[in-house]
Homo-oligomer: A and B are copies of this chain.
Amino acid sequence: MTIHAVNIKALVVKESSILLSLTVYNNSSGGGLLSYSESQSESITGPPASNTNSDVPAKKKVVVLGTGWGGTSFLKDLNASLYDVQVVSPCNYFAFTPLLPSVTCGTVEARSIVEPVRNMVKKRKGDIKFWEAECLKIDHANKTVLCRSNIGNNLVGSGEFSLEYDYLVVAIGAQVNTFNTPGVKEHCHFLKEVEDAQKIRRAVIDCFEKAVLPSLSDEERRTNLHFVVVGGGPTGVEFAAELHDHFQEDLVNLYPSVKDFVKITVIQSGDHILNTFDERISLFAEEKFGRDGIKVQTGCRVLSVDDKNITMKAKSTGEICSVPHGLVIWSTGIATRPVVRDFMEQIGQGKRHVLATNEWLRVKGCESVYAIGDCSSIDQQKIMDDISAIFEAADKDKSGTLTVAELKDVLDDIIVRYPQFELYLKSKHILDLSTLWKDSEGNYREEIDIEGFKMALSHMDSQMKSLPATAQVASQQGEYLARCFNRMHQCEEHPEGPRRFKGSGRHTFLPFRYKHFGQFAPLGGEQAAAELPGDWVAMGHSTQWLWYSVYASKQVSWRTRMLVISDWTRRFIFGRDSSRYPNTVYMQQPTSNTLTQRTPECLSTSYVSQRYTPLTARKLLERRRVREEDGQRRKRKKKLLGQWRSHDQ
């Protein structure tokens, strides 16, 4: 039994079910963040629908909003024969977003990274209906969604319709966050949709074509060729790197007369680019950009953008400056869509930033609506909120005090329900639970009372972090939810979740658990940096090849897989003047402080580049993971997950 974990800018290995094998100290989640919380009604079924007739109950109506990472991974794994499934999305294709930056420079064709939704659903068993339309409103009281298509306004039919649901799966992602900066909507390019990428591609060429015209001054040429990237996250950095490559490898030959006028600037409000990555990667990237002549301007906030200038403020000095630009790419984070905001008002979440779900991905305060991906965030249950219930449940002999042995009896359930417990132990290198029983002077105690228990667990909730807004998260959530939908009856009869500390019995399902597979940052010039599970950091040439192979292996269908591979091949043949091949790989283990140049068996150049079939790459990673699990490397990185999600900025 496998869960198709999705890598994105991440290494992904096929993983035996993470849902069923939770054992504390042997669990080797590479720092995967676990998110759970209390809920009495996480049951997927909800109240029986009214329209069932006594003999053959009508199939429950499932409406899915969105066909991005979350929506499609849900649909791919759902047993559609069990439900009456309808899908609504304004986009009739799924886009493989991690390759969007490559589309901006023509390394990969747009067509290659999109997969028509109809192709995908046609292959599913059961009948899935797809409507190319936008959801305008979720009407929670009436359990309907109002939709409208805005296709071809010459075509006949109003295009408005509403759908009833028994279950609603909201997977409509998020929109670009401009932080209300004046002029951004009008004068910046975004990099969120496939059309955005295509527009950027054309706009870059336009800058060059304009710059070479006979009538311009040097100053004008320089301005037209100043490319500004706002946001030093993975997307912004990758775009800057792609653009630099594109320039060095292709454009310089086509527009030789203006090659000295080109400038790329990355503006980052934080102190470092790629600040969700390991520090070493940030530095590696900054150094590489420095060598490449890409200017990195950190600690700067953009105040406004107009058609000619971008105005910003240095955080440290308060200085304001205005720089002329040819093209600005805005890539700073995401915000909640209006339709979700409206829904949040309806269900009493109006004061929140993001739609909150429980750990079973059900929207809080609302039966039968589930939300996955960028549009939602899991609201983890705090240990301290349930501390008395936990104490009571653990205190079997009702003595009013707890021994270590008593705690061990309920440990499995605690860890599943409150993953911060495990993270805390790991972060403090606590191997023996009795450490928690020490008093303030460091003496071991036999038993502790409720106050002592509260004290011992008081810092654990600080380990909770919200999940990043990544494809990795969205797709794992989609898979998880599909699995729950598929096994609903089975699990209602035989609950598989942890015991309920508040209330009785067990939870129907294990809560959603996110498994982090690391992240990738392509840095241009066939180089990339990767953060792998188990605190490995890889930087260098082969990493790019590894990335290619993993991407290829995770392409949604055989069709897109072939297309992307052939795009890359085309690029090597036609897109550049001379091909470069990977030659060295720098590997660094976290415990060592020196950057050693080595070619470990599992990542050696020849091995990876010569045999970089998807399968091989996956096997390599799996092998590494297994070795790691053997307990060779126990130290975990603390800063595993970043704040790429900027909802809460």
Residue numbers of A with Cβ under 8 A of B are 92, 106, 109, 111, 116, 118-119, 122, 131-133, 149, 151-161, 163, 187, 203, 205-207, 209-217, 220-221, 223-224, 253-255, 307-308, 324, 326, 558-559, 562-563, 566, 570, 573-574
Sample of 19 further A-B pairs with CB below 8 A, known A154-B308, A158-B215: A118-B254, A119-B254, A149-B213, A152-B206, A152-B210, A154-B307, A155-B223, A156-B216, A156-B223, A157-B210, A157-B213, A157-B217, A157-B224, A159-B215, A558-B574, A559-B574, A562-B574, A563-B574, A566-B566
Structural contact, A224 and B118, CB atoms closer than 8 A = no
Q: Does A132 lie within 8 Å of B209, measured CB to CB? A: yes
Alpha-carbon distance between A371 and B609 when the two chains are bound, in angstroms: 53
Task: State how many angstroms separate the Cβ of A377 from the closest Cβ of chain B.
Answer: 32
Q: How far is the CA of A316 from the CA of B628 in the complex (A)?
A: 84
Alpha-carbon distance between A224 and B157 when the two chains are bound, in angstroms: 9
Whether the pair B155, A224 counts as a contact (CB closer than 8 A) is yes
- A161 touches which one: B118, B214, B255 (CB < 8 A)? B214
Task: Return 26 A-B CB contacts under 8 Å, by A number.
Answer: A92-B209, A109-B111, A118-B254, A122-B253, A122-B254, A131-B212, A131-B213, A132-B209, A149-B210, A149-B213, A151-B206, A151-B210, A152-B206, A152-B326, A154-B187, A155-B211, A156-B223, A156-B224, A156-B324, A157-B213, A157-B215, A159-B213, A559-B574, A562-B570, A563-B570, A563-B574
Of residues A155, A158, A205, A324, which shows the largest number of chain B Cβ atoms within 10 Å of its Cβ?
A155
CB distance from A67 to the nearest CB of B (A): 13
Residues of B within 8 A of A217 (CB): 157
Min Cβ gap A582→B in Å is: 24
Q: Which residues of B contact A563 (CB under 8 A)?
A: 570, 574
Q: Is the CB of B570 within 8 A of A213?
A: no
A197: shortest Cβ distance to chain B, in Å?
14
Complex CA–CA separation, A157 to B220 (angstroms): 6
Q: Which residues of B contact A149 (CB under 8 A)?
A: 209-210, 213
Determine if B205 and A92 form an interchain contact, defined as CB atoms under 8 angstroms apart: yes
A556: shortest Cβ distance to chain B, in Å?
Answer: 13
**Number of copies of this chain that the complex holds:** 2
Residues from chain B with a CB closer than 8 A to the CB of A562 are: 570, 573-574
Q: Are B122 and A220 in contact (CB under 8 A)?
A: no
For the complex of A and B, 3 pairs with smallest distance between CB atoms: A132-B209, A161-B215, A154-B307
- Which chain B residues border A119 with CB–CB below 8 Å? 254
Chain B residue at minimum C-beta to C-beta distance from A222: B156
Contact assessment for A209 and B308 in the assembled complex, using a CB-CB cutoff below 8 Å: no
Per the bound structure, the CA–CA distance linking A369 and B141 in Å amounts to 75
Chain B residues with Cβ under 8 A from A109's Cβ?
A: 109, 111
Cβ of A326: which chain B residues have Cβ within 8 Å of it? 152, 155
Q: Select from chain B the residue with minimum beta-carbon distance to A326.
A: B155
* Interchain CB contact under 8 A, A155 and B210: yes
Q: Verify A215–B254 contact, CB threshold 8 A.
A: no
Which residue of B has the minimal Cβ distance to A119?
A: B254
Chain B CB within 10 Å, residue with most, of A92, A152, A254, A307 = A152
Q: What is the CB-to-nearest-CB distance from A214 to chain B, in angstroms, rounded to a whole number?
A: 5
A209 in contact with B151 (CB, 8 Å): yes
Chain B residues lying within 8 Å of A253, measured Cβ to Cβ, are 122
- How many whole Å from A241's CB to the nearest CB in chain B? 22
A210 touches B111 (CB 8 A): no
CA distance A282 to B249 in the complex (A): 50
- Chain B CB within 10 Å, residue with most, of A211, A254, A562: A254
Q: How far is the CA of A207 from the CA of B118 in the complex (A)?
A: 15
Tell me which residues across on chain B come within 8 A of A154, comparing CB atoms: 187, 307-308
Contacts of A570 in B (CB 8 A): 562-563, 566
> Which residues of chain B come closer than 8 Å to A220, judged between CB atoms?
156-157
Report the nearest B residue to A212, measured CB to CB.
B131
